[in-house]
Structure 1
Amino acid sequence: MSSSRPPSAPTSSAPARRSPRSRRRLIAAIAALTVAVAAVVLAFTLDGGSSSSRTAGGDAPAPRDSALLALARRDADDPLALGRADAPVVMIEYADFQCPFCGLFARETQPELIRRYVDKGILRIEWRNFPVFGQESEQAARAAWAAGRQKRFWQFHEQGYGKPRERNRGEFAQDKLVAMARAAGVGDLDRFLEDMRSDQAGAAVQRDREEGYRLGVVSTPAFLINDKPILGAQSAATFRQAIEDAAKAARGE
């Protein structure tokens, strides 16, 4: 880039200039990263639930995206996950406890997916807290994480989504969250409150949220089934097809 100011004389403290070749490599790397991120953002923004894993010609499987596949944590001790850590398909869910469509998915679709795929070792579900509706959403996310510390996350999840709830009307106030934790079988409620208020809870929730933002998630629920993004509480058939396509791809079919 040209400048109207004359170049300064070099000094011993001036940073070393990159060579033209190094600058070209850096620009190429940044461009490649930008394209990759934009592609995922576009997929999350425009995906309407089509779950075909094949190319437009329909003759060969689309290449798998290793960067997206690597987002699955596959931690056998993760209390916010269901299913085998080595399952061929991982469904990551970014969700908010105040999201009505997340609740719809939890009540109407997820139980079928658990029976059909998780219980058979095909699918693993990994939860990501993605609070987007304000303070009560943030509190609910922290409470869910705290319940997980006592191995009761999924029981708390069932309580939180057990029925439709009004958003930001006190349904996830602290006393209600404690009642949900009690109903979920959380044994030590003092520890639950301490964990919920901790910096560790805040960091865990923020980690999940930042992961979602990096992917381009802007609304809930959002899902990543291996490397296939799905936005919204789509039909059970859409999820079945995406899971079965991902299982075939994992087998190399």
Structure 2
Amino acid sequence: MTRIRSLSLAALSAPLALALAACGSTDEAGEGAVSGQPVAAVEAPAGTTWTDTVQVTDSDGYLLGNPDAPIKLLEYASLTCPACAAFAANGADQLKEDYVATGKVSYELRNQIHGPHDLVLAQMVRCGAPETYHPLSDQVWKNLQEVLSPVFERQEQFGQALSLPEDQRFVQAAQVAGFYDFFAARGLSEDQARTCLADFPAMEAIAERSDTQSQQLDVTGTPTFFINGRKIDGNSWAQVEQALQQAGAR
């Protein structure tokens, strides 16, 4: 059975406050401290900035910044996770302005999927140009309760949508959840979103990559961070920034 067909609706049966607290984030220790000599800033190509430079990686991550940066920060995140939302609110801007903009650090974001509503959101933030992925993800996190409340208020209708044929289920689920209006206000048209959500194989691939990569890298909760391939301790901005500076971003 493929991942997309086995995604459980169990998370949707809990009250919103409980569901928001259950993203499975962890502060367990990683593989040890990262340390290195200070690295030099790298100028972006003429007429560009690193904070506007995005490429999709082979792992379906969205890498922001200098693709050849000596310090590579990777985050696994769920768009329905309040700890991820806290990182977006408390650290994302500083990360981009103080570290990514210098060319010293690249920031790759990958989705860990925590349910069908999460999968719909993961596809919708991918639906525009690659440059819109990070801003749309930040908008979801900064308005998380507004985004998720309709899902939990309309659990029965949402579940019914998921029983529709493959090319209709996520299109209707987004309608029930009110996602079209939210994203339309941020530049993604409903027609464009509907076309993306009707692409069942693409959504199946997102879910399967989430499973496979999480197992391979032992990502047990979100947010989980890696620097140059090594899992770091903690998931707060203060902890991530300390690890970046230890790696030479200072």
TM-score, normalization by structure 1 = 0.62
Does 2:231 align with 1:229? yes
Superimposed CA distance per residue, residues 70-128 of structure 1 (whole angstroms, 9 cap, x where no aligned partner): xxxxx963282211111111111111111000000011111111111001111111111
Which position in structure 2 is the counterpart of 1:80? 62
Pick aligned residue for 1:183 from 164, 185, 198? 185
Q: How does 1:90-129 map to 2 (within 5 A)?
A: 90-129=72-111
State the alpha-carbon separation in 2 of the partners of residues 51 and 106 from structure 1.
24
**Residues 161, 168 of structure 1: CA spacing in aligned structure 2 closer, same or farther, 3 A cutoff?**
closer
State the alpha-carbon separation in 1 of the partners of residues 78 and 129 from structure 2.
16
One-letter amino acid matched to 1:196: L
One-letter amino acid matched to 1:247: G
Partner of 2:68, secondary structure, is coil
Which position in structure 2 is the counterpart of 1:71? none
Which position in structure 1 is the counterpart of 2:216? 214
Q: How does 1:9-158 map to 2 (within 5 A)?
A: 46-47=28-29, 52-53=33-34, 77-78=55-56, 80-132=62-114, 134-148=115-129, 151-158=131-138
How many residue pairs were aligned? 182
Partner of 1:94, secondary structure, is strand
Partner of 1:112, secondary structure, is helix
One-letter amino acid matched to 2:96: I
Could you tell me whether the CA contact under 8 Å between 2:65 and 2:103 is conserved in 1?
A: yes
Identity of aligned residues (%): 25
Which position in structure 2 is the counterpart of 1:162? 142
State the alpha-carbon separation in 2 of the partners of residues 93 and 108 from structure 1.
15
State the alpha-carbon separation in 1 of the partners of residues 123 and 34 from structure 2.
35
Could you tell me whether the CA contact under 8 Å between 1:97 and 1:160 is conserved in 2?
A: yes
State the alpha-carbon separation in 2 of the partners of residues 193 and 113 from structure 1.
33
Unaligned runs of 5+ in 2: 1-25, 38-52, 153-172
State the alpha-carbon separation in 2 of the partners of residues 139 and 156 from structure 1.
13
One-letter amino acid matched to 2:239: T
One-letter amino acid matched to 2:215: Y
One-letter amino acid matched to 2:213: E
One-letter amino acid matched to 2:110: R
Superimposed CA distance per residue, residues 157-209 of structure 1 (whole angstroms, 9 cap, x where no aligned partner): 122011342796435951432223223222x4323221133112331342244
Deviates more, 1:87-96 or 1:171-180: 171-180
Superimposed CA distance per residue, residues 213-243 of structure 1 (whole angstroms, 9 cap, x where no aligned partner): 2111111111111133136532x33212211
Partner of 1:93, secondary structure, is strand
**Residues 245, 164 of structure 1: CA spacing in aligned structure 2 closer, same or farther, 3 A cutoff?**
same
Partner of 1:161, secondary structure, is helix
State the alpha-carbon separation in 2 of the partners of residues 201 and 89 from structure 1.
30
Unaligned runs of 5+ in 1: 1-43, 55-59, 62-74, 249-253
